[in-house]
Structure 1
Amino acid sequence: MEESIVEVGALLQEDGHCLFRVWAPLVKQAGVLLNSHYHGLVSRRGGYWEVTIPCIRPGDRYQIQLGDGPPLPDPASRWQPDGVHGASAVAGTHYNWTDQAWKGLRMEELIIYELHTGTFTPTGDFAGIIDQLDYLHDLGITAIELMPIAQFPGDRNWGYDGVFPFAAHTAYGGIEGLKDLVNAAHAKGIAVLLDVVYNHFGPEGNHFPQFGPYTTDKYKGVWGPVVNFDDAYSDGVRNFFWQNALMWLNEFHLDGLRLDAVHAIWDHGARHFIDELRIKVEALSQSTGRHKLLIAELDLNHPRYIQSPAIGGYGLSGQWIDEFHHALHSLVTGEVKGYYEDFGQPQHLVKAIRDGYVYTGQYSQHRKKNFGTYPTGTTNDQFVVFAQNHDQIGNRPGGDRLSSLVSYEMQKLVAATVLLSPYTPLLFMGEEYGEKNPFQYFISHTDEHLVEMVRKGRREEFAYFFGDDEVPDPQAEATFLQCKLSRAYTFDERAANLLSFYKYLINMRKFVPSLRSTHREDLQLLDTGHEYIIGFRRQDGFDALLIFLHFSQATSECHFPLPAGARKVLDSSASVWLGPGELPLSEPYPESWTLQPESVVVFEIPKKI
């Protein structure tokens, strides 16, 4: 039987009455300090405490007092106007939505653009993103994915240190600002996805331990204590995060959630937290008539999270595929340290293009064991692939982007590899024009001891990959400011041309039928006779394309005989793309033909009736 949701927090009604409910199963007494007046909370079943108080207005400050302890902000606070250490504020839910016709998007319709609210625009807020929606629409993006926006310490942070999962960060524009963004994006035909963190809590402003057993010591966590999803008292914790997910998807009209590091959500109970979350989100989709998506970040080559429940899966919409990135990145940069030691050869990228996963049971040198399994029972659109994202850029000492590591021609080839792949593509803000400004890790903690611990941790982490490379100070405001986008396409010819190239690829992906197929059997690898020329055929019914990705830095011969009537529709080396120039191709086509270094060439095949 499906568990029902018990709503927690300050739940304001239209008549001005407000229900204050908190989960604190181990205390003997609790109260709410509302505008400095104490109101006792009544104990209810399941460890909940509650009271209803009349004449409450949005913005009224309140705190929770447990026993004779100090007043604390509400873990389920939806508004922290004075930061993570200040009192909570009552929030209203009314908003004049104009997106009634919006029904959401399916995975196969997504072209995702990941962005960080604070660095995407000069203003660093939701209003700034709204100002860029026309740009994103013109680029061809169909969905933006916001890095976490839950209230965190200070005014700059990646977002994974959030300690108030229900509160949209005040510096970004809070509740109203986020709703304005979603409403405006839907008017442009753009879905909005939100990155949420359910696997750990941030360190500063974290009052969860005072309220109850939100964490457990059954497991060892990478980022601190593990969230309690299956130990004693876990019912209240599971309820807390289910409510959080449904709030974003329902009240805020968000189209989907990117679930951070689901492999760190430990649950060995009979019904996994993720499985039940999917059931509740499906029910919401049915009741609202809108598609809602759940996409997992998963560091395991196991399709269980996206397989159908009919065969024992958790039924999520999709998952990030880091191995596609690793195979592509190591091939074009030559980096083979750390987890890149499992990659670096063309056959790794061939495997990623064909299967999504690179390791499907073979031995992993990095892990020192056999790793992964084949993704049976899945479709290509369930795999989200990328050449860059916040982790893969930010977790480098200098936060250097791919544009600083490879040539201009290689940037075009990388773009084509992602956007012409059979999988759902994700771009990281700025890559579409070769942004040169870094994206580094930054924080604004107020605890100096914690700041020094973060500095030390970053130095130790980078030493594993990059030796003694200098690590920027994550606490320094300058580190944050230099991550702001330059929008070089407004003044640099090559950046503007690369932007046009991305637009062309995205337009192909959206409107060429053979690039829209999600079935694995509609992709066929081609024998090109050259290790560094990766060729594959994509088709959908009678429509077909031949795609050749050339990763060598020298001119090379492709030994794949082109069919009669094949028409070239893209050559990244063409002068129109500021390339070295297309190489001549005579007709009838020869048995072999030549490709420019670091190029992509695409042919359309005549339809057979």
Structure 2
Amino acid sequence: MDVYSVDIRDWDGQLRIESTEVSGGGADLFLRRGSAPTPFEFDAAARTPGTSTESLSLSIDDTPPLSSGIWKIGVWRPSGTAYDISWYREGYPSNRPGLGAIPFDDGPGLDSGVTFRVWAPNALAVHLAADFNGFSGLATPLSLDGDGSDGTWSSDVRGVGAGTEYRYVITTPTGSLWRNDPRAKDLLNSTGPSVVVDPDLFDWGSDNYAMPDWNDLVIYEMHIGTFFDSPGGVPGDFTTAMQKLDYLAELGISAIELMPVCEFPADYSWGYNYSHPYAVESIYGHLTGLKEFVKAAHVRGMAVLLDVLYNHWGPTDMDLWQFDGWSSGGWGGIYFYNDDRAQTAWGDTRPDYTRGEVRDYIRDNVMYWLEEVRLDGLRWDSTSTMRLGPWGDLPEGWSLMQWCNDEVDANQGWKINIAEDMYGAPNEWITKDTGAGGAGFDSQWDAMFVHPVRAALVSPADPDRNMWDVRNAIVQSYNGDAFERVIYTESHDEVANGRSRVPEEIWPGNADSWYSKKRSTLGGVVVLTAPGIPMLFQGQELLEDGYFTDTDPIDWTKATTFAGIHDLYRDLIELRRNGGGVTAGLMGQHTNVFHVNNSDKLLAWHRWDQGGAGDDVVVVANFSNVTWPSYRIGMPAGGTWYLRFNSDWIGYDASYGDHPSTDISAGSGGYDGLPYHADLTIAPYTALIFSR
């Protein structure tokens, strides 16, 4: 028996052995792992009678499978027989599902490693360059899956796992392209390399968090880099933000909405230019940091939502661009439209919603955040850019949103998908069920609320405040559901892009003025008592001034300076979530703005769920700099209505008037179209909240 040794590397998927007869006949091939084979002890054999020309192959799919280590080739031959022999270690496509870098473990005594698979339909060849092969661009080939029609390349690499650093080397007619994995869940930084992640290694502990009902959501929009940080140095991260989670829980927040946290170029950004849709920004703490943040928020009873981009990506540090070397007309290649439809306000990087592989990429991304990362919902940035292009409607963008929303409803139906679609508002089709032709989102940011309410707050002169506009903003709804909209006076868009925080807009350069405090908190009352899902922007509860930038952290000294303003928002949130059991109507579907005095700038509205004691709520808002010693409004029911909140209380700010508003008694006699009426007293720029 002639014996030869061959070292099977971790990435070899097939061993092929060929012998050719030179003289004589009857030579047979044998193969055995670790030890020399015999005609009676072997793992594979080729024994064709009467010839020495044999062919033998063993792959990772055979039984027994090819595995890493030393294999022995044996040639049994009769005396006088001569032959030539050669063998080839070859790549072999994986039979495991999935795209990206997916760890596997076949069990005790069996193989473990990582499946690498990438979509590159125009590549001539694909290799894996990684730390385990010295980042060689030729050592580890990937093989086309199946008949090649899917355009995917794959390989199982044994003996590697989480933490492995890698890139794909794509051979094109004009050279080689070194690319990060489009589905990389981690990178060292925005230029790479990609890093393998094993989701099973993260300890979620006993996380059994249950998403609250959507009428119990009070959202706090957060930018990780500036939420809790000091000026200068590097931005804040998940660890620093976690230090303030107890603060948010005590404030009463039930959901945190993170501005985008996917990997973006450099260290400072709002996040809307991210270039790696599956990876979490390294400066913030990578994927593990995000999971720790989610876990910690859940422990404190708060949901975590994430702002995601499917309308564009990048445009810089983006390996998705012309990923496998192909493009048409110099456009973006396989992930993007290759004509004018690619154009957006942020670059020519609108994904190609007509390609099945791109649609899968986006759908899988949606489910990845909700399932593996355990986020509780997503806010989709500028969905109007998905449904409208330079040529008009993009029906394929609409159908993609429908598909993704249907997938979430079917698999994670208790989680919330929110659209930001400010173009052509109001648009009920955004939140209408897909079965009726709608996009199927659960809620949407409401342009019909923020713009008229902000205008009424920041206008310098009382006569310019339009109470009918505010009234219409309060009663606006979508498809008859009070909670199909998110309402706010501050968001990252509204406090930047040429605009400022509401207190700053009220009196530029004097955001801590009496006027700024009174009218901005009056807006806070409207947000937290109107129908809809209310949202605050980080620092709003601290009277944060100026405008938002990604290099200017929240000034947490304001938590002391304006402790009373913080308490005002805390008290409002407690009422909004019915913390005292006497304001359930603020979580209800029903609203009646029954009093609109546009001359004197007062409004009153009734909120209720089932109605009755502990449910009915009446809110009175004075948008003028006038004190009313006695002011009459209609009331929906008779008897005593208890004052639950007075925004003029001196405990909220020493400059406030502490106007002596009190409980009121509703007597018979119709007013404002209601069967009862009551007289109250109210201070300037003040809101009162009553309940039965």
* Structure 1 pair 558–42 and aligned structure 2 pair: CA distance change class (3 A): farther
Corresponding residue number in structure 1 for 2:162: 58
* Structure 1 pair 225–584 and aligned structure 2 pair: CA distance change class (3 A): closer
Amino acid at match of 1:502: Y
C-alpha separation between the residues in 1 aligned to 2:521 and 2:501?
A: 14
C-alpha separation between the residues in 2 aligned to 1:380 and 1:525?
A: 14
Aligned mate of 2:553, from 484, 492, 498: 484
Corresponding residue number in structure 1 for 2:67: none
| SS of match in other structure, 1:66 | strand
Contact kept? 2:418, 2:445, Cα under 8 Å: yes
Aligned mate of 2:548, from 433, 439, 460: 439
Corresponding residue number in structure 2 for 1:317: 442
Aligned mate of 1:292, from 399, 408, 415: 415
Shift of residue 540, structure 1, vs aligned partner: 2.2
Amino acid at match of 1:533: L
| SS of match in other structure, 2:469 | helix
Find out whether 1:264 has 2:385 as its counterpart.
Answer: yes
Aligned mate of 1:88, from 194, 204, 219: 194
Shift of residue 583, structure 1, vs aligned partner: 4.5
Shift of residue 229, structure 1, vs aligned partner: 4.0
Q: Deviations over 1:435-477 (max 9, x none)?
A: 235412x4xxxxxxxxxxxxxxxxxxxxxxxxxxxxxxxxxxx
Contact kept? 2:577, 2:584, Cα under 8 Å: no
Contact kept? 1:163, 1:205, Cα under 8 Å: yes
Aligned mate of 2:500, from 372, 375, 400: 400
Amino acid at match of 2:182: P
Shift of residue 331, structure 1, vs aligned partner: 1.2
Corresponding residue number in structure 1 for 2:99: 8
Q: Deviations over 1:170-190 (max 9, x none)?
A: 111111111111111111111
* Structure 1 pair 279–324 and aligned structure 2 pair: CA distance change class (3 A): same
| Structure with the higher helix share, 1 or 2 | 1
Structure 1: tracts of 5 or more residues without a match: 337-342, 357-374, 443-479
Q: How does 1:540-555 map to 2 (within 5 A)?
A: 540-541=609-610, 542=612, 543-555=615-627
Q: Deviations over 1:221-275 (max 9, x none)?
A: 22222523443xx111111111111111111111111111111113413970111
Corresponding residue number in structure 2 for 1:467: none
Aligned mate of 1:416, from 501, 506, 525: 525
* Structure 1 pair 555–270 and aligned structure 2 pair: CA distance change class (3 A): closer
Q: How does 1:47-446 map to 2 (within 5 A)?
A: 47-67=151-171, 68-81=175-188, 83-93=189-199, 94-122=201-229, 124-211=236-323, 212-216=333-337, 217-219=339-341, 220-231=343-354, 234-266=355-387, 267-269=394-396, 272-285=399-412, 291-299=414-422, 300=424, 301-334=426-459, 345-356=466-477, 375=478, 377-396=479-498, 400-406=500-506, 407-436=516-545, 438-440=547-549, 442=550
* Structure 1 pair 588–199 and aligned structure 2 pair: CA distance change class (3 A): closer
Contact kept? 1:319, 1:382, Cα under 8 Å: yes
Corresponding residue number in structure 2 for 1:447: none
| SS of match in other structure, 1:393 | coil
* Structure 1 pair 18–432 and aligned structure 2 pair: CA distance change class (3 A): same
* Structure 1 pair 583–257 and aligned structure 2 pair: CA distance change class (3 A): same
Q: Deviations over 1:472-492 (max 9, x none)?
A: xxxxxxxx1xx2111134431
Shift of residue 335, structure 1, vs aligned partner: 8.5
Contact kept? 1:416, 1:600, Cα under 8 Å: yes
Amino acid at match of 2:454: H
| SS of match in other structure, 1:265 | helix
Contact kept? 1:114, 1:146, Cα under 8 Å: yes
* Structure 1 pair 152–584 and aligned structure 2 pair: CA distance change class (3 A): closer
Shift of residue 516, structure 1, vs aligned partner: 4.0
* Structure 1 pair 335–595 and aligned structure 2 pair: CA distance change class (3 A): closer
C-alpha separation between the residues in 2 aligned to 1:141 and 1:524?
A: 26
Contact kept? 2:518, 2:686, Cα under 8 Å: yes
Corresponding residue number in structure 2 for 1:366: none
Shift of residue 530, structure 1, vs aligned partner: 4.3
Contact kept? 2:113, 2:157, Cα under 8 Å: yes
Amino acid at match of 1:42: S
Structure 2: tracts of 5 or more residues without a match: 1-95, 106-110, 230-234, 324-332, 388-393, 507-515, 667-676
Contact kept? 2:207, 2:295, Cα under 8 Å: no
Corresponding residue number in structure 2 for 1:25: 121
Amino acid at match of 2:419: A
Aligned mate of 1:499, from 560, 566, 569: 566
C-alpha separation between the residues in 2 aligned to 1:504 and 1:105?
A: 20
Q: Which runs of 4+ in 1 moved over 6 A?
A: 585-591
* Structure 1 pair 505–588 and aligned structure 2 pair: CA distance change class (3 A): closer
Corresponding residue number in structure 1 for 2:143: 42
Shift of residue 594, structure 1, vs aligned partner: 4.2
C-alpha separation between the residues in 1 aligned to 2:690 and 2:192?
A: 61
Corresponding residue number in structure 1 for 2:641: 566
Number of paired residues?
523
| Structure with the higher strand share, 1 or 2 | 2
Aligned mate of 1:525, from 593, 606, 631: 593
Find out whether 1:509 has 2:576 as its counterpart.
Answer: yes
TM normalised by structure 1 equals 0.81
C-alpha separation between the residues in 2 aligned to 1:109 and 1:603?
A: 20
C-alpha separation between the residues in 1 aligned to 2:257 and 2:663?
A: 45
C-alpha separation between the residues in 2 aligned to 1:422 and 1:223?
A: 33
Between 1:552-561 and 1:86-95, the stretch displaced more is 552-561
C-alpha separation between the residues in 2 aligned to 1:270 and 1:134?
A: 40
Amino acid at match of 1:545: V
C-alpha separation between the residues in 2 aligned to 1:389 and 1:561?
A: 34
Shift of residue 130, structure 1, vs aligned partner: 1.5
C-alpha separation between the residues in 2 aligned to 1:270 and 1:214?
A: 14
Corresponding residue number in structure 1 for 2:68: none
C-alpha separation between the residues in 2 aligned to 1:293 and 1:268?
A: 23
TM normalised by structure 2 equals 0.71
C-alpha separation between the residues in 2 aligned to 1:310 and 1:257?
A: 21
C-alpha separation between the residues in 1 aligned to 2:344 and 2:661?
A: 57
Shift of residue 131, structure 1, vs aligned partner: 1.1
